[in-house]
A and B are shown apart, each in its own frame.
Chain A
Amino acid sequence: MQKLTLKGLKINISTNDGTFGQCLLFQKGLNVIRAENTSGKTTIISSIIYALGVEAVLSAKQGNTVLKSVLKEKIDFENKTYNVLESYVLLEIENENKEIITIKRQIIGNQNSNLISVYFGNLITDENNQFKKEDFFLNQDGAAQRDKGFHRFLEKFMDIKLPFVPKYNDDKQIPLYIQTLIPLMFIEQVRGWSGIQATIPKIYGIEAVSNLTFEYLLNLDVMQNRLNRKEIKKELDKNKIEWNKISEYMESITKEYNCYLENFPSITVELKKEDYPNFVFDFESKKISSYQFLSLQREKLEKYNLNTTLKIENKELQNKIDLLNKEIIILNGKLRENTIELMNEKNDLKKYEVQISELGKSIKNYKDIRTIVKLGSDEKISLAEHKCPTCKSTLEDSLQKENFEPMDLETNIKFLESQIDAIDILIKSSNHRINKLNKLENEIKEIIKEKRDLLSSFTKDANYSSAISEGTIREKINLENEIKKLEYLNEIYENCIQDLISITSLYKENKEKLEDLPQNDFSDKDIEKINKFGEQFLELLKSYGYSSITKIHEIQITKNNYQPFLDGFDLTLESSASDNIRIIWAYSVALLYMTHWYKTNHFGFLIFDEPEQQRMKEASSEQLYKTLASVKISNMQSIVATSEDSVLLNQKVNSLKANILELGNKAIVPIEKWLY
């Protein structure tokens, strides 16, 4: 079924002497608007586009500037000129559920032309009814996304869902705006015939927009698959980042415990027990795991508990004292290293802070300069406008005459601000490191103090032989503390391993999802659709009398950009001017034909403005009308505006079911001459 049926159009222009305009009713199937050249056919067609708020396909400008002056300024009619006071356009449309609404958009008048009124009923054919009315806005941020946006409303009315697509050089996703879809369904009089999708607006910065619109209109899965792939890859990256975070965390712990991290694996889909990383301690010139170390320390403690007298031999005592001395020397070395590192870090921090304050001053000065330049222009100082005071030629905004261009003030301010941001980050990380080093320093100092206390206790023991060794008691207490710490370390270790395992399973899941996507992202259904489209395209092309190339059957629709190619060359490059127009006919009509076999997102209408074009005079449009009146698209709608001779036209369409709208010499006429 047709997603959007155009039921009727009314252009209402109030002048200083009566109402002008036009009113047309459209039917399903083929509609032909016939009028002489320069009579204002295009005004009729652009009014439809304007009413739908998709004038971006007519011109890069938006709003009523795209419309001809006949709708805005003055009308010449039968040698008299009428001034336009107010004008608006009404468009009656119907959706798949047979709901009818009428769009009203002001061209000239009190109401803002970016405000669209929607009447919930057939206002054109039932003028006097008081329908419910609601206003929507257009051409502003959010017109396609917010509920009060007209295109958001139109999207809901048509029961379609516009996909979110990536922008160039931007992580943000924006909807595939309705404006970008229109060039596949509406071929504008001049630019429209210069190529397939020639009038597609590029201002939104959507990446590969012509591909996306084709894919969306044919409802291809490739679009979703591609987005999914991107999404999954993002997830995989996230997994990797999480993985590395754990590695960093474990690494940071080792310093505190005086151990190493060994065998940290790279991310995998399955983490086996033998691949687990380990905290490793140096113990009597051997490397042992934290668990082994813990059990060794426990055994040691056990011995103390058995040895109730806690007495100690002299020789052993001397050994302990020597060992402690050595340990203290090593620890002092470490402390010194740490202090130097800390000093360097603090120096760096100071440098950053100086940089920041200098940048701050520069920015302040630049902001002052900005105001000075304004004052300068007020005082007619030509340098403020970068002009030489003597000869008025353009000067660079710098006193240094070198081969470079200085940034303008605004950019320079932004540049300096971005530098401040960067240095802020450096300062933060520097502060972080300083904190860590400070902490480490305190820890080392504490250990040294512990060892010193122990040393002095043992020395005392050596001097006075007493029943209980003070050193041994102290040693026992230290050992107990260390065991507690080790237990805690092992707890952390367990948690980290658990985290790694859970990341692994997520990673595996994502990997599998990625593998499930079809290669090249095209589903079987997609391939079928593209092939069918290609078939239809060729068939139509042949029937239109395309003759530039003899081996027509070898023309293919590529999956890269969905354009017709022959032997790797763009078909449009090898075709004559009139054949290029046939290509556009065939391409647009074939797209509409696809609605016969598949559920697509095609709006269901096709509008051709002057499909014969001047250079096509010799080409027969008879076939075009025939294909447009085909039963395949009897549920759909096509509107052709032409200036073909009326006798000729009637010959071409008299055997077809067609709605001929004859406008004669003038399209915009006084109210009594309107077609409806």
Chain B
Amino acid sequence: MAVTGKLLGASLAVAVAALLPSHPRAQDIKIGGIFDLTGVTADVGKPFQQGVIDAVAFVNENGGVNGKKIALVGVDYGYKIDQARAAYKRLVNDEKVVLIQGWGTGDTEALKEFVTQDKIPYFSGSFAAPLSDPAKFPYNFFVAPTYSDQLRAWLAWVKKDWGSKPGTAKVAFMFGDNAYGRAPIAAGKAYAKEIGVDVVDEEVLPPNFQDATSQLLTMKQKAVDYAYINVTTSGVRLVLGDAKKLGLGIKFGSNPYGFSEILVAVAGPLAEGVTGVMPDVPYGDPVPAMKNVEAMHQRFRPSEKGDTMYVRGFSYVLVWSEALKRADKAGQLNGPGIKAAAETLRDFSTGGLTQPVSYTSTDHRPTTTTAIYQIKGGKLVKVAEYTLPRKPDWLGL
């Protein structure tokens, strides 16, 4: 009991220390961060968080927000909705943040009503299409084409890759049984029908699956030519490995959280030829802003390898810090002010890290241009780019 007591005492002491508010200077702009560092998407959540933290440091060192510094209050929510909600309440009501950098699809959608009610601009790592419809999610933003547009672009690539071979390309969708996994499936099926690609199979990958053989066997039976794997990197690796074991010749593609340098690192030769959607350039791509990204990465994380998730985190901060600057200039450094300022962005350049970003008060799709990359010789090589029409009836779908 004495030991337990001491332990309790220690944790209480830490907690008491925590209750004393941190003292940022009055000038600081408080931004909340809800990250996944320990949950099921931690494989990609961690580099993203590092990118955000380092980019905040970058912005602060380069003039800040019109001289004001950004203070990031980050929380790890372990990809659990109730923890995200608790973190959100604390960030908004107690820490009084003016903007939140969020993460997953499920939690972002779950927080919708609170976000709308509290008028807190919420930048999610999720690109689910409904979040881009201000009629339903007025305060939600993200920096990428929607998941749906990404899948549409990939299907367009499939169509092109199939070329003039006889028949139509047979496509399967493999996705996780969660909001993120299922997000683009309906849109993908509709678009495939439109352009003449056959979706012959849908396979669900359960959470923390260790084995995708039965799913792949079904796909083999249906003679699938192409498959889009809509889970994070670890899952993609597993599917690729099992496909190899079964000797399948399916051409795989993946989404921005499954396809990155991390996939090359973990899948090695298995990843060869896999295509993927990339809303951000790979780490080290010679675009103008990359030198800043590399400089920060080398300074803070010299022993680690950079990847596109880091670039993504970085680009998010560049976008919302611009909104903060504009809101600050207008003297409206509050939720509605930042939202309005963000909606004035027109083809805002992140220095090449992403496509130029635009938001309007009726359309939060930042871009409809999607780049398709392929892994060739262990490198991410851009093979195509599609700009989809900004159809009003695709807004939110």
| A and B held together in a complex | no
Interface residue ranges, A against B (CB under 8 Å)? none
